[in-house]
Amino acid sequence: MATILEESGFNPDADLKVVGTNPVKHDGLDKVLGRAKFGADVYLPGMLYGKIVRSPHAHAKIKSIDISEAKKLPGVKAVITGADFPEIPQGSGWGDMSRTTIAREKVLFDGHPVAAIAAISEQVAKRACKLIKVEYDVLPHVIEVEDAIAKDAPILHDYMRTKGDEDAPDVPTNICEKMVSKIGDIDSGFASADFIVENDFDSKPMHQGYIEPQGCIADYSQDGLVELWTCTQAPFVYRDRLSAILKIDAAKINVQQSELGGGFGGKTGFYAEPLAIVLSKKASAPVKMTLTRTEVFRGTGPVSGTKSRIKMGCKRNGKIVAAEAELYFQTGPYTGSMYFNAPNAMFTRYDLPNIYIEAYEVVSNRPKVNSFRAPCVPQIVFGVEGLIDDMAKKVGMDPIDFRLKNAATEGHTTIYGDTWGPVGFVETLEAAKTTEHYRTPIKSGEGRGISCGFWFNRGGETASTMTLAPDGTVTISTGTADVAGSRISIAMMAAEELGIDVDKVRVKMSDTNSLGFNRVTAGSRTTFSVGMVVVDNARKCIGELCRRAANEWGVAEEEVKFENGEVKPASSNVGDFAPMSIGDITSKTTMTDGAIVSSSSMNVTGAGPGFGVHIVDVKVDEGTGRVDVLRWTVIQDAGKAIHPLQVEGQLQGAAIQGMGWALNEEYIYTQEGQLDNPGFLDYRMPVASDVPMVDCKIVEVPNPLHPFGLRGVGEVPVVPTMAAVGNAITAAIGIRPTSLPMSPPKLLDLIEKRDTLYP
């Protein structure tokens, strides 16, 4: 079967008019003027303010909740607790989701919501929160993975047994799932190795750190319709989940996404939204809820902290022959960490004959984790790419050459069973070698690190509509979210296909009532998948434009063609007709068959794997353990960069997020299981003065299953980051850090250890 690229005659070197340029994004103007409306920026008549009462305990039975005093406070319009939510059994997916929103039997983490209030002002709502009396029976808690899996650990759920582990005894456990993945025969693999490297690694949870705290406004009308305005990466998923846990028909819930002030995966699941809806129903008024930063840290999903042991072996010639891993992932109080991404992605990009991986997902008294760019992968790749560097050193090879020697290429069959088409890993590594950065020798006292990453990239359910206005301009409605500029990329692809100026196209983020289901905007799927449906929209509209023109000219449809935004006779034999622009045809729809619209809905497949290489230079102050990142270059295969500046932005942003995760960011808990650093002062994200410019080199190995050849770009660039920094630090100080974040106290300990080991 011909690929879509062959069908469309795609030629990456052809003179694309729009794709590959950098127009100003259409949503940009409102954003620099302060007019863009984010989650917290909408105000409705009669609106109330909602606030949440949260548990101060990590693990406790709720004995009673007394809301009577709060209800009496003037200005309070509604008070709700878990009892106001439909009963759904514990241990089921919906039951867990409902209980993450608001606790029932027990509170399971510091910050777990137990009640919520709607009042006429934020100040009154805050005062009312203090009047709610909750009686707790405090239970022993557990925070770290090793404590949660220890014998006699406090158990979070009596009903929990390990899914995927037939040998597990029938007793309660904190291990929710086990997954085993393998290729070949691991024992004979290691038996044939000349060098074996092995280490234990660990990482702490970090937070997505979006600057916009969650904000929403819910309006439950008297006739049972719900209007929800919220900042989300997943309006349709929110609708369907709200429908399930609140037992309201999906058709009666309309979710309209706001501008999104950052998500990075953290806004793929809701928090305050169900509470706002129930409050609105009870108070019979719109309810606005915005989380404080403290609530964002305590109550919304960080990423999984991990523990792992990884072992790899290679031949003297640099060929890797075996890789083994045992991985543990925190998930918070309920399953759902997407830990399975790690075994599927950790070694994928190398062609390894023998692999054995055991992965475990573990509950503990922490907030429920949420997605973050390439969920569960970067913190494990930290270990893998560290060991790869150790092996390269042992065999005496350049780190890029060592990776090239093992790089997977077209036709590779992965551990998850896919066989790849054209992929650009080798090209990306080769491009890294030619960068000015890599060719410039490192100064003495500094360290340079290399690391690589892979991400599957995703497709999935995607729907859109295209409407041609009488003047020939085009509106597109999409149901995905715009997390950082996808609207302009979508408009560009449509403009390219329609042969018109990108300014004649506008993309609107639709509400859920107006469009078919769209999967969450995550997994680097959006520009790819929406590109597919929008090109389909455009081709359908072009077909209709041709039909109308042929009718007008009284010729057969095959006798006209669409070229550069115009319908014209297919050849001079057809007749002497002046070409008609889109507007020439759409201005006459009153006389023809009505407006030209097209709708497209697909379960998109064909996402092309993405690869990146990062090069990082650091300097470590051996007196304080402080790391200065001096230079950073990202090389990545984008398939085709639709809007190169936006692609660069993705690469640069991911690099610096990974730098924070590598050096500073972590969740710190007190002995009592309370989060000790729920603010930006103590949870230290990189600021402008911490970081260098980030140079980018975009490689383009087209994905043959996309009309413009593109691959997703958002996840890949975070995958190699911590390993790149770790390898650079190792090069600088001569001993390998294995624990994230590589914060000054840890590096000082390591330097001391080095000095005793090798005085």
Partner 1 sequence: MAKAHVTTTVNGDEYEFLCEPQQSLVNVLRDELRLSGTKEGCSTGDCGACSVMMDDRLVCSCLVLAVETEGKHIETIEGMGTAENLHPLQRRFLEINGLQCGICTPGILVAAKALLKKNPNPTETEIRFWLAGNLCRCTGYDKIIRSVQAAAEDLRKDKSNGNHS
Cβ contacts of 568 within 8 Å, gap of 6 or more: 560, 561, 577, 579, 580
Question: Does residue 691 bind partner 1 (CB under 8 A)?
Answer: yes
Closest by CA position to 359, among listed 128, 175, 559: 175
> Pick from 12, 17, 20, 28: which binds partner 1 (CB under 8 A)?
28
Q: How far is the CB of 750 from partner 1 (least distance, A)?
A: 27
Nearer to partner 1, 285 or 580 (CB): 285
- 75 C-beta neighbours (distance < 10 Å), count: 15
Choose which of 14, 32, 578, 757 interacts with partner 1 (CB under 8 A). Answer: 32
Specify the pairing of strand 253-257 against strand 226-230: parallel
The torsion angles phi and psi of 513, rounded to 5 degrees, stand at -70, -25
* Distance from C-alpha of 420 to C-alpha of 446, rounded to nearest angstrom: 38
Check binding of 544 to partner 1 (CB under 8 A).
no
Which of ligand FES, partner 1, none does residue 645 bind (CB under 5 to 8 Å by kind)? partner 1
Select the binding partner of residue 147 from partner 1, ligand FES, none (C-beta < 5 to 8 A, by kind): none
Q: Which is nearer to partner 1, 312 or 507 (CB)?
A: 507
The site map against partner 1 for 289-308 (x = CB under 8 A) is -x-xx---------------
CB of 24 to partner 1, least distance (A): 5
Residues at the contact surface with ligand FES, assessed by CB under 6 A: 211, 262
- Measured distance CA(159)–CA(140) in Å, rounded: 17
CB of residue 681 vs partner 1: minimum separation in angstroms? 5
Q: Does 63 bind partner 1 (CB under 8 A)?
A: no
Residues 597-636 as x/- pattern, contact with partner 1 by CB under 8 A: ----------------------------------------
Beta carbon nearer to ligand FES, 56 or 262: 262
Place of tokens 């960080």: 302
User: Smallest distance, Å, CB 213 to ligand FES?
Assistant: 9
Per-residue tokens: 49: 């303010």
Is residue 178 classed as helix, strand or coil in its secondary structure? Answer: strand
H or E stretch covering 309: strand 306-314
Token couple for 422: 């054209």
Tell me whether residue 154 or residue 262 sits nearer to ligand FES (CB atom). Answer: 262
Pick 305 or 658: Cβ nearer ligand FES: 658
What are the CA-CA distances from residue 604 to residues 69, 510, 526, 528, 607 (Å)? 53, 19, 10, 9, 8
Cβ proximity to ligand FES: between 106 and 288 the closer is: 288
Distance CA 378, CA 372 (A): 10
3-state DSSP of 264-295 = CCCCCCCCCHHHHHHHHHHHCCCEEEECCHHH
Work out what residue 259 binds among partner 1, ligand FES, none; the CB cut-off runs from 5 to 8 Å by kind.
partner 1
Nearer to partner 1, 463 or 716 (CB): 716
Q: Return the one option of ligand FES, partner 1, none that residue 24 interacts with (CB less than 5 to 8 A, by type).
A: partner 1
Query: Among ligand FES, partner 1, none, what binds residue 159 when CB lies within 5 to 8 Å by partner kind?
Result: none
Query: 122 vs 240, which CB is nearer to ligand FES?
Result: 122
Residues 114-173 that bind partner 1 (CB under 8 A): 122-123
Backbone angles phi, psi at 716, to 5 degrees: -45, -45
If we measure between CA atoms, which residue out of 88, 126, 125, 128 comes closest to residue 104? 88
Build a one-symbol-per-residue string for 198-217: x at contacts with partner 1 by CB under 8 A, - elsewhere: ----------xxxxxx----
Interacting residues with partner 1 between 239 and 278 (CB under 8 A): 259-264
The number of residues that bind partner 1 (CB under 8 A) is 59
User: C-beta of 174: minimal distance to ligand FES in Å?
Assistant: 36
Partner interacting with residue 737 (select from ligand FES, partner 1, none; CB below 5-8 Å by kind) = none
Using CB under 8 A as the binding rule, whether residue 40 contacts partner 1 is answered as yes
Helix (H, G, I), strand (E, B) or coil at 549: helix
| Residues between 450 and 509 that touch partner 1 (CB under 8 A) | 483-485
- Token pair, residue 572, equals 């001079």
Residue ranges of E strands in 75-132: 76-81, 106-107, 113-119
As a whole number of angstroms, the longest Cα–Cα distance in the chain is 92
From the list 295, 271, 217, the residue with the least C-alpha distance to 50 is 217
Of 442, 409, 444, 437, nearest to 425 by C-alpha is 409
Task: Please choose which of ligand FES, partner 1, none residue 510 contacts, taking the beta carbon within 5 to 8 angstroms, the exact cut-off set by kind.
Answer: none
Determine if 713 is a binding residue for partner 1 (CB under 8 A). Answer: no
For 97, 159, 670, the CA distances from 92, given in Å and listed in that order, are: 9, 11, 31
Q: Which of 655, 724, 740, 747 binds partner 1 (CB under 8 A)?
A: 655
Residues that bind partner 1 (CB under 8 A): 22, 24-25, 27-29, 31-38, 40-41, 43, 122-123, 208-213, 259-264, 290, 292-293, 483-485, 645-646, 648-649, 652-657, 679-681, 685-691, 693-694
